[in-house]
A and B are shown apart, each in its own frame.
Chain A
Amino acid sequence: MTDQPVTERSVPARRAAPGGGAGAGRFGGFLRRNLDVTGLCALLVILLAVYSQYDSELFTPSSITILSAQFLPLILAAMGQSTVMLAGGIDLSLGAVLALAMAVFAVRAEDGVAVAAVLALAAAVSTGVANGVLVAYAGLPPIIVTLAASFLWGGVTLVVLPQPGGSVPSGLVDAYNNGWNGLALPFVVVGVVLLLWKTVRTTRFGLSLYAVGGNEHGAYASGIGTRTVKIGAYGLAGVFVGLAGIGLAIQTGSGDATIGTPYTLNSIAASVLAGVSFFGGVGQMRATVLAALLIGLLTNLLLFTGLSPFYQLIMQGAVLIVAIAVKTFATRERTD
């Protein structure tokens, strides 16, 4: 993975295309630019159609609330992973950090939810910053740093919460899972977080994030503080992952140090599915949200089809391979 794909740069002038599609139209251009989002939307629609065959109550408010409560952690975790990947990194300690935030929140929730949330977020952000500092200053590849860090944060989580436990006030759990005055709280959270991202995306930091991911040396030579940007990216990812951990704690009503592990893989899967490049600099957050939703729905759907839960893992893996292979082939022309 050392050589970055010199994507479009290797394709000679477009104008050399004989009879090129100059009149392809605005809409076509929009579609091509948003291939990931439109593709994912189409998939999502198909999936929802199938889903509603099995679950006729899918589109009722209570069902939407429950489902969004269920998917929120993965969506937020995927957003965290995407943030790091956009800056050209990767976070293999994500699951451990998620579990840490969950544990901190669950242990402290009885003394006050707000304080617990702040503590959990602070813990997640500081692990993110620590990861970022190691990546930015130590000259260690992100994959290795975060791999080693996953031991570290996993250990911290075990110290905070050696056995599954802690408890979240039942009122909160109920409001979160079953709606609060008819409002699907998790849904709102995703909306707010997306808005937050949108804002970040239009600041200098947001643009720098993409710049560092796209061409680190170029960004440095242009006077961007690449180290600060990387640390910021990991820190911001910490915010998302921390929220995911809090969400998971509220959803399940308690904390569990071992529950985070699958989120590392699934968050990477969602990001890749969304078109976030492993090499950084390419990707859209709304696509990540859609992809995470897709993965969540698919898992649920498999339960509904009455398939033995044992088959779930097989299906998950197979779907991931097929989806990414299809995506690779669909976009191959652009990268060949």
Chain B
Amino acid sequence: MALLAVEQVSKSFAGNRVLDRVSFDVRPGEVLALVGENGAGKSTVLSLVTGLLAPDSGRIAYDGEPLRSWSPHRAREVGIGSVHQELSLNPHQTVAENVFLGQWPSRRGLILRRDLARRARPLLDRVGLDVDPLTRAGRLPLGQQQLVELAKALASGPRLLILDEATSALDDDQVRSVFAVVDELRAAGSSVIIVSHRMGELFAVSDRLTVLKDGEVMATRERAETDHDDIVRLMIGRELSDLFPPKAGMSGADELAQGDEIAAIPSEKEIASEKAAAEDATADSADDAEPAHGGGTVLRARGLTVPGACEGVDLDLEAGRIIGLGGLQGQGQRAVLRALFGLVRHTGRIELDGRPARLASPREAIRHRIAYVPEDRKVEGLHVAQTVRANLALTNLDVVTPGRRLLTVDRGAEARLVDDLVERMRIRVTGPEQEARRLSGGNQQKVALARWLPAKPRILLLAEPTRGIDVGTKREIYHLLRRLADSGVAVLITSGDTMELVGLCDEVAVMYEGAVVDRLAGDGLTEERLVRASVTGTVADD
């Protein structure tokens, strides 16, 4: 008998049906992967199971009993533990206090710090976390915080563990310890539901995969009877090829396109023709395989230092090239981007077009036509409570207040700008007045990117450009970035996704403990070398 049975469950938000008669089950001792694009309904269905939401119709049974008067509290009582992408830790309390959050073991009503720490130790060991249980949770890097979250889920001895994008902020080592825990649970007869955008992980650990698309279950497959392509086809309803666009100098375009047009996400047809052109170009230029350089150095940073995060970083951004910052999580990649956008105080020399520049605030960076798309869309990238229109207009007030002196915003110009951007970027919205928080992650990211485009940035900084984004949108964003580069933009991204760095970037600088330890380009840019340099912190020579 199934441990958890979800039967014909539907759920709507404000008239939008996000789940439509969804059914699946989880057997004891089984790992079930829930896959689907962003907005397919995975998080919603899991929120129903953990008691954060209640279904409109249908039935959820746990251990044969239908769920009644369900709440996170009840769910935890009956042995459902969960780890979400969004952290539920209290950054100001200690790791130990967080591990037992809400169910602190007490002696005669009193909870003793030392006692908590002692009890937390074995749980932390289990998830491979070697930190002092009395550290404040907020002091840990994101990845470790997520492991604390896992330890917390384990604290109640769960019979069903839910991992909702729980590995998104983890490096490979940490992912391995999570999987060790999953295997351990499975061996002990407990069940796990796992959601991840990293398909490789799902195939490595799950027994069955249930595919959701637009709120409906497309299929449930045994792992042995399916493969990557099959699942992706079910997820997006079509074949997906050419995840990554051709690299610089391979696109067939000899010169950088310098159009006045705002870049747009290319259509299927365009992607296909670009690919053909690139193949021709590779055939033509097989002799001089030298990776082409772009249109000259736009930004030169020397000795860039952010106290406590990175030190002595040298970086050259060239028009037409996409540079990546790789390495394990939290090696200072983020600080480099934030320094270049004037968000953190830094020292070192920065030259723009050969002239020394001071980037002391985002406003100055923007004046130099630098754009930044942060990893944290909800806090820094967008005003999520505001409309798509307001978000797109905010960074383009110069465009929508003609004559500048007259400070009134021209509603007509604003509407045209917004419509144009929504169309170019293929942003799925019900209208320009939709609030940004109602969009899926992928569409939010498109808005966060689109808002910079009318100002024609010369340098584009992106932190984790596709984290938590479905594969279809990922592909669109990759092609857009390449198009932007081809039109003369210098692009710098950070990413924890090795495949992304290798597939998209022209050059990857590997960071380790705040410094650049290796630079990989051309044929030298392979996943294997990248991983080795990231882990060892030394130049990866063969």
Contacts and interface: CB of A to CB of B under 8 A. Distances in A.
Interface stretch (A13-21, A91-99, A187-195, A297-305): A13-21
Contacts of A210: 90, 92-93, 97
Contacts of A220: 72
B191 interface: no
A251 interface: no
Contacts of A17: 307-309, 514
B442 interface: no
B255 interface: no
Given A211-B90, A218-B90, A224-B102, A11 B309 contact: yes
Contact of B101 (A199, A206, A222): A222
Residue from A6, A204, A336 whose CB has the most chain B CB atoms within 10 Å: A204
B138 A8 contact: yes
Contacts of A281: 90-93
A9 B142 contact: yes
Given A12-B141, A12-B331, A199-B110, A215 B308 contact: no
Contacts of A7: 91, 138
Given A6-B379, A18-B311, A203-B110, A217 B88 contact: yes
A148 interface: no
A214 B93 contact: yes
A223 B308 contact: no
A16 B310 contact: yes
A207 B514 contact: no
A215 B88 contact: yes
A149 B515 CA distance: 56
Interface in A216-275: 217-225
Nearest to A221: B88
Contacts of B87: 215, 218
Contact of B139 (A8, A20, A211, A215): A8
B331 A16 contact: yes
Contacts of B330: 12-13, 16
A83 interface: no
A7 B145 CA distance: 14
Contact of A14 (B50, B104, B308, B310): B308
Nearest to A206: B111
B195 interface: no
A9 B138 contact: yes
A202 interface: yes
Contacts of B112: 202
B376 interface: yes
A3 B331 contact: no
B73 interface: yes
A207 B379 contact: no
Residue from B73, B91, B97, B111 whose CB has the most chain A CB atoms within 10 Å: B91
Interface string B161-180: 00000000000000000000
B19 to A, nearest CB: 20
Nearest to B110: A202
Residue from A18, A213, A281 whose CB has the most chain B CB atoms within 10 Å: A18
B513 interface: yes
A214 B92 contact: yes
Nearest to A282: B92
Interface string A267-294: 0000000000000011000000000000
A40 B84 CA distance: 40
Contacts of A81: none
A211 B101 contact: yes
Interface string A156-169: 00000000000000
A203 B138 contact: no
Interface string A109-127: 0000000000000000000
B256 to A, nearest CB: 34
Contact of B91 (A12, A15, A214, A224): A214
A221 B379 contact: no
B213 to A, nearest CB: 27
Nearest to B311: A18
Contacts of B71: 223
A12 B140 CA distance: 9
12 contacts: A12-B141, A12-B309, A17-B308, A17-B514, A204-B109, A211-B93, A214-B91, A214-B93, A215-B91, A222-B152, A223-B102, A224-B73
Which 4 residue pairs spanning A and B have beta carbons closest together?
A: A218-B88, A214-B90, A223-B73, A13-B330
